[in-house]
Amino acid sequence: MFEKLRIKEHMEVADANGQHVGTVDEVENEQIKLTRSDSGDHMHHFVALDAVDKIDDNRVYLKQGTLVS
């Protein structure tokens, strides 16, 4: 298990295959808020903290099959 305090602004968020999904804007309640600049629709998207598989260096990896809302 990881500590949500380790997730910092500007960290990269990647899927289980290591593909870029977004960039952390902030951790809000039990969700990671992604920056709008990485989004095709220029809106904030969110990932539940329980969808995080691991944190490695400056990258957050999501569990297989995680959908970004």
In order along its 69 residues, the chain shows pLDDT tens digits of 567 889 999 999 999 999 999 999 999 989 999 999 988 898 999 999 999 999 998 999 999 988 787
**Domain containing 18: what range?**
4-62
* Rounded Cα gap, residues 47 and 68, in angstroms: 5
CATH of residue 39's domain is 2.30.30.240
Return the structure tokens found at 31.
Answer: 């969700």
Return the pLDDT at 47: 95
Return the structure tokens found at 14.
Answer: 């990647």
Helix, strand, coil percentages (3-state) for the chain, rounded to 5, are 15, 40, 45
Return the pLDDT at 2: 61
Task: Look at residue 55 and tell me if it is in a domain.
Answer: yes
Return the structure tokens found at 44.
Answer: 């904030």
Is the whole model's pTM more than 0.85, yes or no? Answer: yes
Task: Count up the domains in the chain and report the number.
Answer: 1
**Cβ neighbours for 48, distance < 8 A, ≥ 6 positions apart:** 30, 31, 32
